[in-house]
Amino acid sequence: MSLHETLGQPLLTFPDAQKSPLSIRAKALVFVDPRSQQLRDALEQLAPRSIAVLIRGQTGTGKELLARYLHRESARGGLFVSVNCAAISPTYAEAELFGYAVGSHSGSASSRAGWFGSANGGTLYLDEIGDLPLPIQIKLLAALENHEVTRVGAHQPSPVDVRLVAATSIDLAQAVAVGKFHERLYHYLREGQLELPALHERVGDILPLAEYFLGIYSQRLGLSVPLISEMAQHALERHNWPGNTRELENVIHFALLVSNGDYILPEHLNLPHPTEPSELIKHLALTLVGQGKRQQLEQLKQWFAGL
């Protein structure tokens, strides 16, 4: 992981993400927008503490990056272990999380520490914790409260020192209300809670992220780095980004491949046209006139004339 400077604010990235066996879906975050700066302040306050943390945010916003940042800033010497709860087998969930002893099931000639044991002294990140079966949620809470786990087939518990960071894209309070998430575990997680806003709610982060992805893919593909035109910048800032950072990365990758000049233009982004183009024309025209950019204004008129 590295922290670069982008417009005076740190850019949180994982440059070796492609080599990592772990699943890192959203590979970069910036803290430029005021809401992101508030989030960074909350992160720095929570990081040194030992309490569990629940990160709430839409899919593709970068929740795992926040969890990794928390681990790094916590100074915990153990590993950061990332687990996607949706991928855990319901049949073997207990063994996967808490490990198993020798001979606990057919073919087990050796023991295994499980994800919990692997994170001993470090941080266990549970993505989409709402997907854990209820019986496992109860055992998870007991392990966290008692600081010990009992492997499947073992007779004695083993002490563990694990900090839990969990993430969810759903409202766990609603899941608790209908009996699909353990209430006490929810309250345990709520002691440290972080809200990661959707990308369209932190507009100030869009262009720095776009420029970062443009640089990354240009370097990877051996291409010169084009500039993002004024009109393309406005199109990026006005898009709703339902896929969040992950979608932005894909859009910039595509734009780099189909652009044929020194600039990324709106048509290279392959974004849906605004539902009210007249308002966008007016907004952009006023901006360009105020900046004295008459040539770009003429380009804008020609682009919308071709729609």
Domain membership flag for residue 19 = no
User: 53 CB contacts (<8 Å, ≥6 apart)?
Assistant: 46, 67, 70, 164, 165, 166, 189, 192, 193, 194
240 and 291 in a common domain: yes
Do residues 135 and 185 share a domain? yes
89 and 209 fall within a common domain: no
CA atoms of 180 and 200, how far apart (whole Å): 30
211 and 172 in a common domain: no
Establish if 15 belongs to a structural domain: no
Residue 117 lies in a domain: yes
Helix residue ranges, H only, 75-205: 93-98, 114-118, 134-146, 172-177, 183-190
- C-alpha distances (whole Å) from 160 to each of 100, 249, 302 are 15, 38, 65
Same domain, 148 and 216: no
**Are 57 and 246 spatial neighbours (Cβ–Cβ below 8 Å)?**
no
Strands 9-13 and 263-264 turn out to be unpaired
Q: Give percent of the chain with pLDDT exceeding 90.
A: 59
Distance of alpha carbon 21 from alpha carbon 16, whole angstroms = 10
Q: Is there a single domain that holds both residue 166 and residue 211?
A: no
- By the 8 A CB rule, do 258 and 268 touch? yes
- Contact criterion met (CB below 8 Å) for 225 and 216: no
Q: Which domain holds residue 103?
A: 33-197
The CATH code of the domain that includes 259 is 1.10.8.60
The residue from 197, 227, 242 where one domain ends is 197
Highest mean pLDDT among 28-42, 139-153, 199-213: 199-213
Residue 140 forms part of a structural domain = yes
126-to-185, 217, 266, 292 alpha-carbon distances in Å? 13, 30, 38, 51
Q: Check whether residue 176 and residue 206 sit in a common domain.
A: no
* Domain membership flag for residue 16: no
The reported pLDDT for the residue numbered 108 is 47
Q: Is residue 11 part of a domain?
A: no
Which CATH number characterizes residue 63's domain?
A: 3.40.50.300
Residue 13's pLDDT band, with cuts at 50, 70 and 90, is low
Residue 10 falls inside a structural domain: no
Residues 55 and 154 in one domain: yes
**191, 206: one domain:** no
Q: Flag whether 7 is in a domain.
A: no
For 267-302, the pLDDT digits (tens) are 999 998 654 455 555 555 555 555 555 666 566 666
- Residue 208: pLDDT over 50: yes
> Nearest 5°: phi and psi at 249?
-60, -45
Q: Is the pLDDT of residue 20 over 60?
A: no
Listed residues 170, 197, 224: the one ending a domain = 197
Nearest to 28 by CA among 65, 60, 59, 68: 65
* Mean local confidence (pLDDT), 246-256: 94
187 & 207 share domain: no
Residues 6 or more apart in contact with residue 116 via CB below 8 angstroms = 97, 98, 99, 124, 143, 149, 160, 162
Q: What is the pTM of this model?
A: 0.78
Number of domains observed in the structure of the chain: 2
What is the structure's pLDDT at 99? 82
Are residues 182 and 241 both part of a single domain?
A: no
Examine the domain organization and report whether 83 and 158 are in the same domain. Answer: yes
- Domain boundary pick from 197, 220, 251: 197
Q: Which residues pair with 29 in a beta bridge?
A: 12
Yes or no: say if 197 and 60 are a contact pair by the CB < 8 Å rule. Answer: no
- Most confident stretch, 19-33, 151-165, 207-221: 207-221
pLDDT in tens, 132-190: 999 999 999 999 999 988 877 777 888 889 999 999 999 999 999 999 999 999 999 99
Which tops the pLDDT comparison, 116 or 273?
116
Q: Angle, nearest 10°, between helix axes 206-221 and 230-238?
A: 120
Among all chains, which residue has been given the structure tokens 């990365």?
249
